[in-house]
């Protein structure tokens, strides 16, 4: 019996059969649920490799912390104490403003916004594919993480959970070509959709209303219209407003507020959808 991939087989035949098998596997993976379950278990099996690949960085971070001198540590301690005092003062003002805002919402008959449950996560691996912008974090289904869960950092929206395993998850970034998020202009509440255009480029704004009132420097926040991202989180800042010379339609770009190229620690949010997911 002659083997298909033996050394005597023509390279063109081997290439054709490899492409055919690849296309068949892609079609089965998209259309049949059992293949998704197989991928889930494969991701779970290789999850320890993410921790192993992250071990050198963690080791270097540990050596760096151990090598700090006493003077450096004392200076950092003073700086952190001063920063802590400033943040405590800001929290006092924040509590007052939140209480005042809740009273105004009650007077207007608006529903109060419940405090979201949050969980810190560490980035274990960033995707090296130049056309895919995703990261792997060290939280998975065992921690209650679910597909579509919002991911933020201290500056704003980072993306959402794209795929989960038992102990790790994969998050897609807002700059990914497959990602879109409903936003609104903070200045005048005009709604639109911010679409990823690669992390080397700014986001593109689609579904713009006629005679849109938007300027460079306008802050875009989540509108909450998709029921997935909580309302009011910063997403991007408008960086460019131009007109298409062919049909005079506006072409608007916006720079993400989150530093998507230097992600290390993130926050996972649980909104109403997450509560329903955990209870299902």
For residues 33-62, average pLDDT: 81
8 has pLDDT over 70 = no
For residues 215-227, average pLDDT: 92
Residues comprising the chain, all counted: 280
Average pLDDT, the chain: 83
State pLDDT tens for residues 165-217: 999 999 999 999 999 999 999 999 899 999 999 888 999 999 887 778 899 99
Half-sphere CA count of 4, side-chain side, radius 13 A: 8
CA pair distance 251, 197, nearest whole angstrom: 13
Q: For the chain, which residues make up each domain, given as ranges?
A: 11-67, 117-280
Closest-CA residue to 254 (of 241, 244, 269, 267):
241
162 has pLDDT over 80 = yes
Q: What is the pLDDT of residue 280?
A: 44
Phi-psi map region of 266: left, alpha, beta (phi>0 left; psi -120 to 50 alpha): beta
More confident: 127 or 164: 164
Q: What is the pTM of this model?
A: 0.66
**Is 176 exposed, middle or buried, given 0-12, 13-18 or 19+ CB atoms closer than 10 A?**
buried
Torsion angle (degrees, nearest 10) of CA 239, 265, 97, 93:
-110
Q: What is the pLDDT of residue 107?
A: 64
117-280 CATH fold: Thrombin, subunit H (2.40.10)
State pLDDT tens for residues 244-276: 777 778 889 999 999 898 888 899 998 655 554
Backbone angles phi, psi at 122, to 5 degrees: -110, 140
Q: What is the pLDDT of residue 139?
A: 95
More confident: 218 or 106: 218
The alpha-helical segments, DSSP class H, found in 109-164 are none
State pLDDT tens for residues 108-134: 665 545 566 889 999 999 886 778 899
CA pair distance 179, 195, nearest whole angstrom: 6
164 has pLDDT over 80 = yes
In order, the DSSP letters of 158-170 are EEEEEEE-SS-EE
Q: What is the pLDDT of residue 130?
A: 76
């Amino acid at each position: 019996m002659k083997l298909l991939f033996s050394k005597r087989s023509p390279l063109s035949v081997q290439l054709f059969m490899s492409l055919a098998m690849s296309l068949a596997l892609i079609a089965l993976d998209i259309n049949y649920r059992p293949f998704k379950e197989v991928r889930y278990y494969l991701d779970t099996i290789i999850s320890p490799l993410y921790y192993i690949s992250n071990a050198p960085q963690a080791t270097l971070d540990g050596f760096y912390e151990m090598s700090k001198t006493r003077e450096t540590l004392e200076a950092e301690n003073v700086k952190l104490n001063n920063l802590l005092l400033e943040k405590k003062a800001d929290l006092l003002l924040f509590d007052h403003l939140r209480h005042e805002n809740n009273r105004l919402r009650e007077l207007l008959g608006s529903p109060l916004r419940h405090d979201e449950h949050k969980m810190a996560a560490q980035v274990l691996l960033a995707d090296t594919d130049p056309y895919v912008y995703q990261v792997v974090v060290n939280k998975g289904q065992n921690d209650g993480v679910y597909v579509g869960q919002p991911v933020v950092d201290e500056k704003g929206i980072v993306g959402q959970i794209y795929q989960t395993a038992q102990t790790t998850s994969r998050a897609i970034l807002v700059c990914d070509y497959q990602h879109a998020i409903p936003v609104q202009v903070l200045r005048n509440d005009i709604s639109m959709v911010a679409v990823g255009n690669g992390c080397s480029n700014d986001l593109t704004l689609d579904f713009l209303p006629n005679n849109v009132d938007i300027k460079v420097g306008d802050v875009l926040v989540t509108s909450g219209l998709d029921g997935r991202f909580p309302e009011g989180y910063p997403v991007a800042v408008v960086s460019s407003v131009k007109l298409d010379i062919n049909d005079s339609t506006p072409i608007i770009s916006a720079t993400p507020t989150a530093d998507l190229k230097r992600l290390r620690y993130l926050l996972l949010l649980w909104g109403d959808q997450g509560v329903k997911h955990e209870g299902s």
